[in-house]
Amino acid sequence: MSDLSRFAINQITTRDWSLKEAVDGYARQGAAGIGVWMDYLDAAGVNAGARIIREAGLFVPCLCTSAWVNLAERSAFDAAIAENRRRLDAAAEIGASCLVVVPGGLATGERDLQAARSRVESALEILLDHARSVGVALGLEPLHPMYAADRSCLSTFAHCLELTKKLGEGTGIVADTYHCWWDPFFAQGLREAGSEHILTFHLGDWLVPTRDVYQDRGMIGDGVIDFAFYRSVLDEIGYDGPFEIELFSKLDWWTRDGAETTRISIERCAPLVGARK
């Protein structure tokens, strides 16, 4: 019997399931946790969603995602800060360990990437007290550089680790193989971060060819990433946190029945997510 006690399925993997359908479907097949998306939680209602998750006994490694803060107009920036406080409150209500920070790329018409990154750092500083007060970490997720202009200007593990160390308590890193496998610093970055700075570890494979820059992540084992190597690095640093499969897959897994996607996700991930060796 596989040890799935650390394993969660991010609900975007079964895009067409509601929160309740995902909770029931994952629990039925033995997954221990669910990564929740804000849109699905809002659709269910935060209090009702929290009850659904709690009654199923699933843990919640993260709430996805923060509202984008790369907005040049002050009123829009302030509104995004308020929305992120709401999302931190929602994360606390469902028992999520962190809110995944995806802050946006360049503001409309902007070309100054450093200014965008400075704006993100300012937003994190503003949100940090609230995050600490509700007991939900700000989970900085380095996204692949192809998203730097539109989705996130946090593009490397090293940058996120630097910010985490600078900001201190209440922050950490959401490490994702899909976004970081290419980075020569990734393995060393995991070692430098240590287990204390890694909040959750996302699993997704890189397909060759990749047919869509956003929604063509591969099922574990279907692409080129050496998952066993990264698992060995995590064991080396004493990581005992969660593992979470997260697939955006409009050409494949989103076209399949959610139960099939769940079953195969568990089969492929089971050898990688057990107790530390």
Q: Which domains, from first to last, does the chain contain?
A: 7-272 (3.20.20.150)
What pTM was computed for the model? 0.97
Long-range contacts of 106-115 (CB under 8 A, 24+ apart): 106/70, 106/148, 106/149, 106/150, 106/153, 107/70, 107/71, 107/72, 108/72, 109/72, 110/70, 110/72, 113/148, 113/153
Structure tokens at 160: 């996120």
Confidence of residue 174 (pLDDT cuts 50, 70, 90): very high
Q: What is the DSSP string of 159-175?
A: HHHHHHHHH-TTEEEEE
Measured CA distances, 109 to 80, 119, 139, 213, 237 (Å): 19, 15, 27, 22, 42
pLDDT, tens digit, for every residue of 59-113? Answer: 999 999 999 999 999 999 999 999 999 999 999 999 999 999 999 999 999 999 9
CA 35, CA 16: separation in Å to the nearest integer?
15
Q: Could you count the other beta carbons within 10 Å of the beta carbon of residue 24? A: 14
Residue 1 pLDDT exceeds 80: no
Residue 238 pLDDT exceeds 90: yes
